[in-house]
Structure formats: structure tokens, C-alpha cells
Amino acid sequence: MASLCSFVTITGCATEPSTEILIAKATPAVSVQARGETAAVATANADAADDPAIWRNAADPRASLIVGTDKKAGLHVYGLDGADRFFIDAGAVNNVDLRADVAIAGTPGILVAASDRNDLANSQIALFRLDPATAQLAPLGNVASGAGEAYGVCFYRTTAALYAFMVAKDGTINQVELDVAGATPRGRIVRTLKLGTQSEGCVADERTGRLYVAEEDVGLWRFDANPAGSTEATRIAAVDGRNLVADAEGLAIATEGETGGYLIVSSQGDNAYVLYRLEDDSYVGRFRIAPGKVGGVEETDGIELIPGDFGPDYPGGLFVAQDGHNLPKAQNFKLLAWDDIKKAFGLR
């Protein structure tokens, strides 16, 4: 999350490395400009906006929706024009993910999961149904997801079941099997994974059965996402102050073909984003979001990326990044075209 020093002056903050120093030491990054932005979240003068999720409307891509967390207050739903279409008071919800075409109480729908940390000792997954016609979120209920403070959350589905990974602040990762077939959602923890320190961002690749998790001050890790798989972690990249600068925060993937595509991680400490190839975990490069049509982006927490048709304004797909500095307004989310990012690296 963004440092408190970003918002107020506190004795002792000067001992922390400045963003300028971190950028100077980091590997150079190419620049990409955002094409749009959302309205600001409801909570002003605070580190409040955190994580986005995207629903792509295949029938009318320009009518797609973005769900974003105000971790002090609840969930916003935005249109691609950035307008705030709906807000639900859900309290302290940190990260969010969504899944379309889920049978919810017998009816296909869009399932939204948020990491609920209203009880700091016991994490929960707050579940909602998103109505694409009205952009409204209807609460379904909460599912217990283990001890600890809820931080990251991401869906993973197999042919047999739907799961949510709950990443607790201390690095504990519980895989929760979800059942939303009835009037009240249910869940059970099927296994537990563990990283050593504070962790948050996660994303799963259902083609390869891999789960990716960011350990903020340590690095980027890969797990077997299947419930019967190994619980051992493989480190993809270290927080080294060059390619990846602490905190390592949000994660997103863009899949291509059977195993290809890209993994993106927010390098929050130097206001950058790092690309890795999914096939072999290899490093591709880094980019920053520079001022242009809308402002630049700093200190990003959550990100999301969905390839595909989002209309002429976002060719190739939609990338959404939380903006930790959106003065004079409260924090918000910036919107980029996936094609713009790929072109910056010379990728097809």
C-alpha cells in the first residue's frame, strides 16, 4: 500500500528512500500513457483505492464494467467512460476479483469476491452478484477463509469446482472451495500455502494450473493451483531494487494460446510495472504510466488486465491500475489499452 508519508509529513519519514532515489537505481522503463480514468473513490485524503476487477461485455464491449475497491468504505462499479455507476457500502474490503458465467443460486451470473477485513483476526470472502444491466452489486453473503487479516483474493476454477485463494497479510494463503448453488454461499478450506512475510496480490492461470502471489518485500512466487498439488513455492523474481522494487503489489495476466502470454506485477516502490513471460517466467521489461490525456500513475497497489475487444478506445484489451496520487481529488484508477503497452515493448 502507499506509504503514509505520501499524504502527510511525519517525523522519521525522511529516513525512507525517496521515490526519486528508487527510480534512479531501478532498471530503465518505457513510458505508456493512460487513455482514461475513473471517478475518484469516496474516501478522500487517504490511501483508499486499492484493487480493480474487469467484466468484459462480449456483446457490447463498450458497456464493460470495472469493479474497484475503496478499502475504507466498499466497492465502486465504473463504466469504461470512468463514470461511477454504483457504490455499495461493504466496509473494509481490500482486493477484488470477479468471474462471469457462474451458476449463482441456479441462475448464471457474474460472481464478485472481495477480501473482507472488517474483522482483522478472521479473514472472510465477501461475495456479490453483479448485474450487468444496472451495474449494481447485490450481496450474497460472506464465507470464512481462515485466521488473519484478509488482503489478496483471486478466483481459480477447474472442471470440478470453483475456488478462491485468500492471501492473508502474514503470507498465509488459504484455498477455499466455494459453493454458491444455494441461497447462502458456503465455503471450505481445502489446503493452505505459506509465504514468509506480508503478501497480497494474486492471480491464477487456469490453462496451466498455476497460482502467482506477490510477497511484498521479497519477490514473486509461483504455486501449483490445484487442490491436490504441491504446496512448495517457486520464486520467479526477487525484489532486487532494480527490476522489481518493493513493494511488489498487484498481479495480472494476459493469456495467449495454450500456455503463452504475460504476467504483470506492480513495482510500487518506483512507480513501475514489470512484465514476465508466462511460458518460462522470463523477464521482458518494465514500463511506467506517464502523464498524457489524463495524469500519470504513482504507487500502484492493484492492477487488472483482460485481453480482447473493449471497443476502439482500448484496442487489444484493457489494463487498469490503481493510482496512489490523483491530487487534488481522491485516489482513482487509470485505464490503458493493452496494445499500447505491447507496442512500447515491440511485442505483437
334 CB contacts (<8 Å, ≥6 apart)? 34, 36, 37, 38, 289, 294, 295, 297, 320, 321, 323
Q: Phi first, then psi: what are they for 156, rounded to 5°?
A: -155, 130
Predicted local distance difference test score (pLDDT) of residue 23 = 82
The number of beta carbons lying within 10 Å of the beta carbon of residue 348 is 5
- In this structure, the dihedral spanned by the alpha carbons of residues 154, 156, 317 and 71, taken in order and rounded to 10 degrees, is -10
Alpha-carbon gap, residue 194 to 267, rounded angstroms: 22
Structural domain for 189, as ranges:
4-344
State pTM to two decimals. 0.94
DSSP character string of 10-54: -TTGGGSPPHHHHHHHSPP-EEEE-SEEPPPPS--SSS-EEEEEE
List the one residue out of 121, 118, 171, 161 whose CA is nearest residue 142: 118
Task: Decide: 197 and 189 in contact? Cβ < 8 Å.
Answer: no
Rounded to the nearest 10 degrees, how much is the dihedral formed by the CA atoms of 63, 66, 67, 70? Answer: -130
Number of domains in the chain: 1
Distance CA 248, CA 300 (A): 10
pLDDT of residue 2: 47
The pLDDT value recorded for residue 10 is 33
Residue listed under C-alpha cell 514500463 = 287
Neighbours of 129 (CB within 10 A): 18
Eight-state DSSP code of residue 247: P
Give me the CATH number covering residue 80.
2.120.10.30
pLDDT in tens, the chain (348 residues): 544 444 433 333 445 678 888 887 889 999 999 999 999 999 999 999 999 999 999 999 999 999 999 999 999 999 999 999 999 999 999 999 999 989 999 999 999 999 999 999 999 999 999 999 999 999 999 999 999 999 999 999 999 999 999 999 999 999 999 999 999 999 999 999 999 999 999 999 999 999 999 999 999 999 999 999 999 999 999 999 999 999 999 999 999 999 999 999 999 999 999 999 999 999 999 999 999 999 999 999 999 999 999 999 999 999 999 999 999 999 999 999 999 999 999 998
Please report the pLDDT score of residue 4 as a whole number: 42
What pLDDT score was predicted for residue 15? 54
Which secondary structure element, helix H or strand E, spans residue 338, and what is its range?
helix 338-344
